[in-house]
Amino acid sequence: MNENDKTARLIRELTKTWADFEGRLVQVPMISRALRGALRLEDYRTILCDHYQQVIEGACWIARAVSSIDRGHLELRSSFLSHAKTEHLDYRMLERDYQSVGGDLATLRGGRKNIGSNALSAWMYHRASQPNPLDLLGAMFMIEGLGKHFAGIFAESLQKHLGLREDQVSFYLYHAQHDEDHLAELAETLGSGILDTDGLAERILETARVTGRLYLLQLEELGNY
């Protein structure tokens, strides 16, 4: 199987994994309520507060992964570094959104990861600490997919049913507009020859599946510390 065939096959499998994840995502109680217009403003604050804890960690586990990539993969190390740089100030958007809907900044910054966020964070750091954790491309596929495929729908529903302004859902709108570019970069990386590494495609897919399940757990446990 040539490189193009390997890449196409992996992307097909990742897309199937994402579709399964999305089917479960819309059934998560808090997300389901948001989409059907039954969410309260205090629920939105809870979502922002818990999401903040995960976003704060995001750039950190990417940076950890960078430190675990050896000189044999310098281009990928640069790619991971660039991604960490892009993401590491996203938490500021969440701070502004949270304050704009009546949340207290000190409460946000002093918050804790919920049960699911703890599991997701532990998994990410575990994978990022392994030698050459290139399988984290699978995790990025899932998380960036949320921006491309779901963040805009979520923000639109919040605006419609809660009467929120764009500056009150800025985090989700931003990712709806920019994560498509990140996914295109990811597809390019997958087609760069790295899949010649024995078993990497299978590890990428496994990491995507585990990350998706733990991300759902994070949402299922909103407010549960």
pLDDT tens across 154-163, in order?
999 999 999 9
Residue 2: exposure state from Cβ atoms within 10 A (0-12, 13-18, ≥19): exposed
40-62: buried (b, 16+ CB within 10 Å) or exposed (e) per residue? eeebbbbbbbbbbbbbbbbbbbb
Q: Identify the pLDDT of residue 162.
A: 96
pLDDT digits (tens, 9 = 90+) for 106-134: 999 999 999 999 999 999 999 999 999 99
- Residues with Cβ within 8 Å of 154's Cβ and at least 6 positions away in sequence, in order, are 31, 34, 35, 172
Residue 194 has pLDDT above 90, yes or no: no
170 pLDDT above the threshold of 80:
yes
pLDDT at 179 over 70: no
pLDDT of 184 over the 80 cut: no
Mean pLDDT of the chain: 92
| Sequence-ordered alpha helix ranges (H) in the chain | 3-25, 29-35, 41-68, 74-87, 91-100, 105-109, 115-128, 136-146, 152-162, 170-190, 200-220
What per-residue confidence (pLDDT) applies to 59?
Answer: 82
> Which tokens is 67 given?
């430190």
Share of the chain above pLDDT 90, in %: 73
pTM above 0.75, yes or no: yes
Q: At what angle do helices 74-87 and 41-68 cross, to 10 degrees?
A: 150
Closest among 146, 125, 128 to 137, alpha carbons compared = 128
Q: Show the tokens assigned to 179.
A: 């994560």
